Structure 1
Amino acid sequence: MSTFESVLHSLNKQSQIITDADRVTAEQLLAEALALRTAFAKLKAKSVAVIYTDSISFVTALIAFDGFCEKIYLCSKDSGKDTPQDVYRWSVKSTSDFTEVTQGGELSQPLQTKWYLASSGTSGKPKWFSHSFTNLISQIRVSDTLKNLCWANLYEPHRFAGLQVLLQALLSGASLVVTAQTSLIDKVKIFAQQGVSAISATPSMWRQLLMTNQLQSLSLSNITLGGEIADQGILDSLSYIFPKANIRHIYASTEAGIGFVVSDKGAGFPKSWLQEGVNNAELTVDDNQHLRIKPKGELDKSLDSLIDNNGFLDTQDRVDLINDRVLFLGRASGIINVGGNKVHPEKVESVLLSVNGVQQSRVYAKANSVLGALVEADIVIGKSFDRSSVLKNIREECKLQLQRFEIPVKLTQVANIRVNSSGKLSRSNVND
């Protein structure tokens, strides 16, 4: 049975985590994890919530408790409050809660630990979904080329995407740069100083990175997008700046794990995958235009209501088949109903972003007593662009690419558009 400790030990002990103040190798992490497991031997076969305070302590705890505890909940300070009552809560600041030190931290008979990750919790309390360590590392790649990469993690490591970056870096023998700097410009400066060559981020975060005008200071060979729809515009922009880089967008979710990876620099994915499958998963599109996926890994039991008789999970992401591609339209739950017509905010945002000078966009519903809702949008216009010309081009492009009910009735220019803690476009607290 594979555990985080055993896989890290067998694959590579030269990987390292680089922070603003420290540099810790995998070998040091393994030693610290053994000491931690010994110190908290009372947690054997128990359930533990590992609350994120810093990357090194977080990773050390995951190595220590995988295969040792029955369940591990990966938590932020907030989500740690929503774990079951019988779960022990561990963080660097709470170690005084466990003062008993006993022997017996050895991993002689490892358990099949369940790793629990929380959904974003945008509507109420977060939901917890379980994964096995084997499933979590199913898409991790190892090679001499990947071993020489230096990754930057722009995701929170207690979330699925951030955990994937962390595992990819450590298990492939690469380096991982983590900084506490909050300014994107300052982050990029540190990434340049540390020689970062690989970054994974949401399309919204990539747009913000492009807006810093500092991204060209990096020599990126690996670029990954995930968490949101990767439209052709953002893929083309990154391809232009980094023509030799491997650019991939990943379809994944906290609930189901990684579904598939697209590396041809095109939006959506090839239509042929609906017949052939991809990345150990089968794909299909149902009558509601929902993408359904059947991964080979075990799915959390709480998803049973979304799984059909053939074992396909309803992702609740709507797609459209255009020529030889399957293109993502957006979440079914995010549709704006304009007089009975369905509008996908992501589709409209993609059109707005295709206009030269529009750096970011957010589309949302505005309540209307007659039609139920109307479409409005916030946009960020580049400082060097003439506002009136950009707005004129937006109107023309919308008429060409959108139906009348999809066209925003109001455009508001804003200085910036917020992304949430997951790096995704924030769609909460929007005018209704």
Structure 2
Amino acid sequence: MNWLWERLRGFGHREAVVGSGGAVAYAPLVDEVFAWREELAGAGVGRGSAVAVVGDTSVGTISLVLALIREGCVVVPLAPADPAPEARGARLDIVGVESVFEFSAPRDWRVHRRAATPGTDGHPLLSSLRETGEAGLVLFSSGSTGEVKAALHSFPRLLDRFRTAPTRASRSLQFMALDHIGGINTLFHSLSSGGTAVVETRRTAERICRAIEEHRAELLPTTPTFLNMLLISGAYKNHDLSSLRLITYGTEPMREVTLTHLADTFPGVRLKQTYGLTETGILPTRSRESGSLLMSVGGEGYETKIVDGTLWVRSAGSMLGYLNCPDPFDESGWLDTGDAVESADDGSLRIIGRRSQSINIGGEKVFPAHVENVLLQAPNVRDVVVEGRANAVTGQIVTALVEVVEPEDARQMAKRLRAHCATVLAPHQVPAVITQAKEQLHGSRFKRQGRTA
């Protein structure tokens, strides 16, 4: 990892981080990283220690994460409210976290020690990592599709792509938090290229637009759910977003209607679909064009293949494994992503949804994203989540949970939307049950979630 420290020092007085908590250039940021050494020693943190960092992305949390990497620690980043404090202990126990640094403000933090978790210190993956002296990273899956999983990465392996990959320095909005693989990717993409990480912890459409305008952000990496919110809010009309050059989106399928609206609203901004998993890191992608959902996936150090309509990935930067679940890789290192895809003649592909979330109606498969795209084109629909529900006759039926823009009688809404769907969809694809949502349909990571998320 010496390459990283030498590179950061070499960027000198370029602006490294700006936004919540002020601004800092690279030289003083590196000084802060080294200044943590005394604090870490005083807290009993040494090489191989498992340390949780709880807080919003800021100069303080960024410098601490860098310091822990330099000391060869296992870093466990957590957002302040995800998971809830009462559920946090179980996750910390999985990793055997010994010290927790909790930030209440960018420069305001406290640390407390935890008792060692019996048996965790001897986990083969952690032991192997500590033997090599490499820093580690533990990221937890969101748990929206089942059991929460703790993925252990080697930081040198994960970040190696930034050592040689040519990248242009840009001012990137740090949208995803550091407890998400997308947030880690955005941060180190920015820092390794001498760019500027623009931090805004209040992720509303208004605040994000204000941050882009104030700090002249060029790159907005986000989710389709947030982009849908941005378009509906109209907040972009009240701010100067002329600095934007690129919007990237990932973590969930993009709906065609949203992408089309986005391309029409920001004609001078390039739109690019990204692809990655907690287990594999973020893969290189290239969208066929801004308004297309077709993309090529892979590049040096990354391989893909399609097996029975499902995408498989092999990555040099993949995780070492789960700390609490069986190894998901096959004997050759390939991972079944669970994402159903369609491929084009030129080799590009389109993600059509999670295979596990497809709805089977009398042998006919329905992918939620297709139905959601139709519902989003109807009036007074802010967002929607389509899911399958067990049915004794057909096996499953299609259900839709709809978030409306303006208040509307639930029965009238359901009748109107079923009629709308019937003009576009096959009969088995039309939602049999349409319910009006009583709260927002996204979680803290701005991914859609349904009734059981």
TM normalised by structure 2 equals 0.78
CA drift of 1:116 comes to 1.8
CA drift of 1:257 comes to 0.8
1:356 and 1:8 map into 2 onto residues whose CA distance is 50
Range moving further from structure 2, 373-382 or 213-222: 373-382
Q: Give the aligned partner of residue 74 of structure 1.
A: 77
1:394 and 1:267 map into 2 onto residues whose CA distance is 26
Q: Which of 252, 270, 292 is 2:276 aligned to?
A: 252
> Does 2:343 correspond to 1:321?
yes
Q: Give the aligned partner of residue 367 of structure 2.
A: 344
> Does 2:383 correspond to 1:360?
yes
Q: Give the aligned partner of residue 260 of structure 2.
A: 236
CA drift of 1:63 comes to 1.1
1:10 and 1:404 map into 2 onto residues whose CA distance is 62
Q: Which of 97, 111, 116 is 1:95 aligned to?
A: 111
Distance 1:416 1:260, change over 3 A: farther
Q: Deviations along 1:172-220, whole A, 9 cap, x unmatched?
A: 2222222343543234234323323321111011111111101242221
> Does 2:47 correspond to 1:17?
no
Paired residues of 1:115 and 1:132 also in contact (CA < 8 A): yes
**What amino acid is the match of 1:278?**
G
Please give the root-mean-square deviation of Cα atoms over the aligned residues, in Å: 3.4
- Matched residue pairs, number? 408
2:212 and 2:415 map into 1 onto residues whose CA distance is 35
User: What secondary structure is seen at the aligned counterpart in 2 of 1:94?
Assistant: strand
1:424 and 1:9 map into 2 onto residues whose CA distance is 36
Matches within 5 A, 1:9-408: 9-11=9-11, 14-41=14-41, 42-54=44-56, 55-77=58-80, 78=83, 81=89, 82-83=91-92, 84=94, 86-92=96-102, 93-95=109-111, 97=113, 111-122=133-144, 123-136=146-159, 138=161, 146-147=168-169, 149-181=170-202, 183-216=204-237, 217=239, 218-219=241-242, 220-263=244-287, 264-265=289-290, 266-270=292-296, 278-287=299-308, 289-302=309-322, 305-321=327-343, 324=346, 325-354=348-377, 358-380=381-403, 395=419, 399-400=423-424, 402-408=425-431
User: What secondary structure is seen at the aligned counterpart in 1 of 2:161?
Assistant: coil
Paired residues of 1:156 and 1:421 also in contact (CA < 8 A): no
Distance 1:36 1:150, change over 3 A: same
Distance 1:366 1:284, change over 3 A: same
Distance 1:397 1:137, change over 3 A: farther
1:185 and 1:49 map into 2 onto residues whose CA distance is 34
User: What secondary structure is seen at the aligned counterpart in 2 of 1:91?
Assistant: strand
1:69 and 1:425 map into 2 onto residues whose CA distance is 36
Distance 1:95 1:2, change over 3 A: same
Distance 1:370 1:397, change over 3 A: closer
- Mark the runs of 5 or more structure 2 residues left unpaired by the alignment: 103-108, 115-131
Paired residues of 2:226 and 2:446 also in contact (CA < 8 A): yes
Distance 1:365 1:293, change over 3 A: same
Distance 1:203 1:67, change over 3 A: same
Paired residues of 1:16 and 1:176 also in contact (CA < 8 A): yes
Distance 1:357 1:142, change over 3 A: farther
CA drift of 1:255 comes to 0.8
CA drift of 1:395 comes to 4.0
Sequence identity percentage: 22
Range moving further from structure 2, 356-365 or 238-247: 356-365
Matches within 5 A, 1:389-428: 395=419, 399-400=423-424, 402-414=425-437, 417-428=440-451
Distance 1:393 1:46, change over 3 A: closer
1:22 and 1:180 map into 2 onto residues whose CA distance is 13
**What amino acid is the match of 2:71?**
F
